[in-house]
């Protein structure tokens, strides 16, 4: 029969002059293969998809890593900060400790001055930081005792550097303040028993100095310049007339050069009185 024969062949539909062949239905095995391919394709698409929050996190991490300064930059910044503090150390001390009625603020001489003290404090802080970190690092080469000694040494260095800010003499309108880290001595100008005016050679020039001696036995030397000559003259008026005074010819000439005293005024103050 004709119908039995067409079952094995493809079904054909004739429309006008053209023929279209309809596909045969898929078998179960072919259907399963197509489903598996579709599933694999869908999983592959999911893998390639990037969530928005993941993109933002990566960008943020990148930007943070870009902004993080290098170690060399940090060291350079710290070195610059220490240098600024060293240069401004004397100004910092004056602003902190100078009295309101101060006439002449004189730092004490010696090696231990504020710039040196500031450098010592900075070095002590670095040593303290390194020792503190290594104290909790069990793999370090130093023993626990050596690390403790390093901490104590850093504290001692910082303390010595800190004392440099307290070494000064302040000539105020009413008294003389001699300060150190452990003592704060104050004397009035009535305690001055001797005043000596002399000069010292500084290169090709002579420099005028006042030398004060007090009842307590302490003595102080004051350099007289064009900037502080008026303050020194004010101190002269506060010292009692019974104080012993002396002056040499070079000191008189320097007073005249500074326009501090005339020759007659200097002789009257230091000799006639």
Structural domain boundaries enclosing 210 = 183-272
Last residue of a domain, one of 168, 202, 227: 168
Pairing of strands 168-172, 205-214: unpaired
Last residue of a domain, one of 168, 198, 221: 168
Shared domain for 143 and 204, answered yes or no, is no
What secondary structure does DSSP assign to 207-250, as a single string?
EEEEEEEETTS-EEEEEE-TTTHHHHHHHHHHS-TTSEEEE-HH
Query: Does residue 82 lie in a domain region?
Result: yes
pLDDT tens, per residue, the chain with 273 residues = 455 555 445 455 555 555 545 555 555 555 565 666 666 666 666 666 555 555 555 555 545 555 666 777 888 888 899 899 999 999 999 999 899 999 999 998 888 899 999 999 999 999 888 888 877 776 666 777 888 888 899 999 999 999 999 999 999 999 999 998 888 899 999 999 999 999 998 888 889 999 999 998 999 999 999 999 999 999 999 999 889 999 999 999 999 999 999 999 999 999 865
Query: Does residue 194 lie in a domain region?
Result: yes
Shared domain for 119 and 200, answered yes or no, is no
What secondary structure does DSSP assign to 127-167, as a single string?
HHHHHHHHHT-TT-SS-HHHHHHHHHHHHHHHHHHHHGGG-
Query: Does residue 12 lie in a domain region?
Result: no
Q: Which two tokens stand for residue 168?
A: 């000064």
Last residue of a domain, one of 168, 191, 225: 168
Query: Does residue 151 lie in a domain region?
Result: yes
Query: Does residue 35 lie in a domain region?
Result: no
Give the N- to C-terminal CA distance of the chain in Å, as an integer: 160
Nearest CA among 199, 249, 247, 189 for reference residue 224: 199
Query: Does residue 266 lie in a domain region?
Result: yes
pTM, full prediction: 0.66
Query: Does residue 249 lie in a domain region?
Result: yes
Query: Does residue 100 lie in a domain region?
Result: yes
Shared domain for 163 and 187, answered yes or no, is no
- Sign of the torsion formed by the C-alpha atoms of 111, 116, 118 and 122: negative
The count of domains in the chain is 2
CA max distance for the chain: 162
Q: How many CB atoms lie within 10 A of CB 165?
A: 22
Shared domain for 82 and 138, answered yes or no, is yes
């Amino acid at each position: 029969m004709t119908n039995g024969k067409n079952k094995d062949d493809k079904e054909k539909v004739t429309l006008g002059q053209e023929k279209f062949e309809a596909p045969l239905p898929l078998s179960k095995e072919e259907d399963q293969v197509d489903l598996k391919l579709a599933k694999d394709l869908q999983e592959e698409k999911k893998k390639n998809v990037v969530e928005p929050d993941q993109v933002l996190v990566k960008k943020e991490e990148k930007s943070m890593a870009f902004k993080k300064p290098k170690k060399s930059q940090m060291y350079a910044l710290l070195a610059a900060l220490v240098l600024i503090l060293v240069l401004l150390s004397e100004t910092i001390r004056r602003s902190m400790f100078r009295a309101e009625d101060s006439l002449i603020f004189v730092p004490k001489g010696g090696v231990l001055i504020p710039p040196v003290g500031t450098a010592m404090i900075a070095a002590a802080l670095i040593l303290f930081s390194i020792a503190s970190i290594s104290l909790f690092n069990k793999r370090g080469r130093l023993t626990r005792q050596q690390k403790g000694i390093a901490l104590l040494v850093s504290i001692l260095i910082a303390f010595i550097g800190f004392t440099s800010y307290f070494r000064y003499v302040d000539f105020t309108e009413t008294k003389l303040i001699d300060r150190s880290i452990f003592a704060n001595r104050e004397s009035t100008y009535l305690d001055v028993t001797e005043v000596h005016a002399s000069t010292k050679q500084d290169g090709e020039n002579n420099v005028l100095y006042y030398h004060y001696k007090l009842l307590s036995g302490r003595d102080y030397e004051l350099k007289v310049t064009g900037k502080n000559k008026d303050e020194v003259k004010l101190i002269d008026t506060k010292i009692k007339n019974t104080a012993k005074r002396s002056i040499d010819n070079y000191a008189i000439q320097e007073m005249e050069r500074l326009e501090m005293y005339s020759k007659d005024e200097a002789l009257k103050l230091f000799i006639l009185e």
